[in-house]
Amino acid sequence: MTTPTPPADPLAAARRARIENGPPKRTTPLEKLAKNPKSLRLAINGLCYDCGGQDADAGWRQRIGHCNIPTCPLYAVRPYQGVRLLAQQEDLDSEE
């Protein structure tokens, strides 16, 4: 008679998989849009990402948050505005 093995710890299994497969690949807003083309939010994010120069450097989120085209119809709903607000707060803190 064999004894049943205890259920595997799901966190341990996830850790093992991450070690074996490496860190997860980050997807760009355009890749996310391709997976779900009917999403309005992903369409806006993808357009802002494309307009802002895509990932020409690591600061593309900041570029979108600091967008300087207020006449754009998507300006008010662009993503990463929180990044802009955090940067403004840091500037205010450094002036004091």
In the chain, what are the domain boundaries?
30-95
**C-alpha span between 67 and 80 (Å, rounded):** 10
Which among 66, 28, 68 is positioned nearest to 49, based on CA atoms? 28
pLDDT for the residue numbered 34: 93
**C-alpha span between 73 and 21 (Å, rounded):** 41
Give yes or no for a contact between 32 and 47, defined as CB atoms under 8 angstroms apart.
no
**What's the pLDDT tens digit per position in 26-77?**
888 899 999 999 999 999 989 898 888 887 777 788 888 888 888 999 888 8
Q: H/E element holding 55?
A: none
Prediction pTM value: 0.59
Work out the pLDDT band at 15, boundaries 50, 70, 90: confident
Give yes or no for a contact between 35 and 22, defined as CB atoms under 8 angstroms apart.
no
